[in-house]
A and B are shown apart, each in its own frame.
Chain A
């Protein structure tokens, strides 16, 4: 079937404002959902689920969080990992300290805790912008990790702050296998991605983008700067917080504050730069790209350059490729893979008659 909108007329504004106005996209979306929701857990092995698919989903969620704040609302943040840490440790403590705490409730509470902390560290954004705000979020990054290590209460007095996530049980069913954890993660991340997409395509998202593009004009047409920015911080941190909790509970199981370091924050930032700043789909593409690239290079570099170069070369080579890609996207295509995908689709729509 050709990719075309010919003959698909929008009779109502409701149809026109769908997430996928073109039928082929809608079909493609549901095929993807079936593949990743049903086929993948049935067909892939444990390595793929545990080492690739689950982390891709979780990082996608964190990238959506950062994209809401940076891509949509225009507030640069280097503290994403710290908000993930808040979510992870909040979930741990809610489950630990409250008898019979249901997992999903703990997940929401973890998100809310991260949102509250996010609002707190978002306050400077009312005064400062750009580079200086990034530095302020950097302070959040270091302060939060420091506080989680400093006060043993957060990790139930475990040595050096390491905690082991409790079992994930929902309605009596324990999500123990990688397949079960994957499906749970998939459902939560898909649902939250849908909510995010809905927010950014309605008045909430327009407020964020207005503040991003021109804050004086945004105020003049009636948006409240403070409310809009703080909401972006809250929602963004909520997403990062839930991602952090999932990171602990469905991905690695044992977490420590230092695991949520600045490196991880940068990794998430690179995901949105490569995937697409201001795009929900780009968040997934970027996360997949950044998780898969090292694995890809690990396998490909020795084949091309031979084994003689040693492991050190491979990891340095990774850094070079990352750096190169980031510079490429920043300069050539700031809207990342998502935009490249869109351009490809536009070409396809005109193909084979480009004029």
Chain B
């Protein structure tokens, strides 16, 4: 592979997160390195989604520290995470239902658009130029994800699998450094899964985007991940390369001990 795994870009240290009495995460430390595909696995309710929400500032852990690009990150809001180049998709699709596919993906570029609302109101000169420049970028993403023929469709009318793809498109439109994907293949058929795998690998390969992936399909995880972290009941029970994790007795126990 052409890409080279770089330095640690996100470093989570001793993260604990509680919701009232529920301990979603307990004392978890792990890191993500630049350009890698880092998977988070674990049974239902293990705290995987919470982990992503901590990384991009949707949740603020009660304890622990997060280092981003080597610097200690103070409390960060989601839009600040976006400004730092972190994009994501959600487990339950979070598209803007009332908008077309194209508009949804265009929103992904909002941070790169500099015109203000008065310029937009006049839609003249700079504003129009900017809109078109970003449209061109968005069309690249649309072509990459092979969704040309649904551009003008309201997202609410799309089948589930395509919605997931549009959500990925919206995240990619931001040209993120780090892409957080929460079960991007859930509910997909084999063919759709293969497409999605290919897109993830391509993004990682072509743009060097660091990817943090939550996925239940072990075949996929073991296939495409560089490193895997395993959570169970909010605790980390395994961390390492796919082969290492596969043979970790704690992981085997967690997976055999629960039903999926």
Which residue in B83, B90, B136 is a CB contact (below 8 Å) of A217? B90
Q: Which residues of B contact A278 (CB under 8 A)?
A: 98
Q: Which residues of B contact A201 (CB under 8 A)?
A: 123
A203 to B104, CA, bound (A): 11
Which residue in A210, A213, A222, A235 is a CB contact (below 8 Å) of B117? A235
Within 8 A of B (CB), among A197-231: 198-199, 201-207, 209-210, 212-214, 216-225, 231
Asked if B82 is at the interface (CB within 8 A of a chain A CB), the reply is yes
Asked if A195 is at the interface (CB within 8 A of a chain B CB), the reply is yes
Verify A204–B98 contact, CB threshold 8 A: no
Decide yes or no: A199 and B120 within 8 Å by CB, A206-B107, A223-B79 being known contacts: yes
Which residue in B110, B122, B135, B174 is a CB contact (below 8 Å) of A206? B110
Asked if A98 is at the interface (CB within 8 A of a chain B CB), the reply is no
Most buried by A among B58, B107, B132, B136: B107
A75 to B56, CA, bound (A): 26
Verify A214–B95 contact, CB threshold 8 A: yes
Mark contacts of B34-47 with chain A using CB atoms, 8 A cut-off: 1 yes-contact digit, 0 otherwise: 00000000000000
A223 to B83, CA, bound (A): 10
Verify A209–B103 contact, CB threshold 8 A: yes
Q: Which residues of B contact A217 (CB under 8 A)?
A: 90, 94-96
A203 to B113, CA, bound (A): 8
Q: How far is the CB of B21 from chain A (nearest CB, A)?
A: 24
Q: How far is the CB of B245 from chain A (nearest CB, A)?
A: 29
Asked if A173 is at the interface (CB within 8 A of a chain B CB), the reply is no
Q: Which residues of B contact A204 (CB under 8 A)?
A: 116-117, 120-121
Asked if B228 is at the interface (CB within 8 A of a chain A CB), the reply is no
Q: How far is the CB of A234 from chain B (nearest CB, A)?
A: 9
Which residue in B96, B113, B127 is a CB contact (below 8 Å) of A213? B96
Which residue in B78, B107, B139 is a CB contact (below 8 Å) of A210? B107
Q: How far is the CB of B83 from chain A (nearest CB, A)?
A: 6
Q: How far is the CB of B80 from chain A (nearest CB, A)?
A: 9
Decide yes or no: A222 and B82 within 8 Å by CB, A195-B121, A198-B121, A210-B107 being known contacts: yes
Verify A14–B122 contact, CB threshold 8 A: no
Asked if A353 is at the interface (CB within 8 A of a chain B CB), the reply is no
Asked if A17 is at the interface (CB within 8 A of a chain B CB), the reply is yes
Verify B56–A222 contact, CB threshold 8 A: no
A201 to B103, CA, bound (A): 9
Verify A221–B107 contact, CB threshold 8 A: yes
Q: How far is the CB of B251 from chain A (nearest CB, A)?
A: 30
Verify A209–B122 contact, CB threshold 8 A: no
Decide yes or no: A198 and B123 within 8 Å by CB, A209-B99, A213-B99, A219-B78 being known contacts: yes
Within 8 A of A (CB), among B117-131: 117, 120-123, 127-128, 131
Verify A222–B120 contact, CB threshold 8 A: no
Q: How far is the CB of B133 from chain A (nearest CB, A)?
A: 9
Verify B58–A206 contact, CB threshold 8 A: no
Verify B131–A221 contact, CB threshold 8 A: no
Asked if A305 is at the interface (CB within 8 A of a chain B CB), the reply is no
Decide yes or no: A221 and B117 within 8 Å by CB, A198-B122, A206-B103 being known contacts: no
Asked if A47 is at the interface (CB within 8 A of a chain B CB), the reply is no
Asked if B115 is at the interface (CB within 8 A of a chain A CB), the reply is yes
Verify A202–B99 contact, CB threshold 8 A: no
Decide yes or no: A219 and B127 within 8 Å by CB, A206-B99, A209-B99 being known contacts: no
A224 to B81, CA, bound (A): 12
Verify B131–A17 contact, CB threshold 8 A: yes
Q: Which residues of B contact A219 (CB under 8 A)?
A: 77-79, 82
Verify A214–B110 contact, CB threshold 8 A: no
Which residues of B approach A to under 8 Å, CB–CB? 56, 58, 77-79, 81-83, 87-88, 90, 94-99, 103, 106-108, 110-111, 113, 115-117, 120-123, 127-128, 131-132, 135-136, 139, 170-171, 174
Q: Which 7 A-B residue pairings sit nearest by Cβ, starting from the closest?
A: A222-B82, A217-B94, A213-B96, A198-B123, A202-B120, A195-B121, A222-B111
Which residues of A approach B to under 8 Å, CB–CB? 12-14, 17, 195-196, 198-199, 201-207, 209-210, 212-214, 216-225, 231, 235, 278
Besides A199-B121, A202-B127, A217-B96, 4 other A-B contacts (C-beta < 8 A):
A13-B136, A203-B106, A203-B115, A221-B108
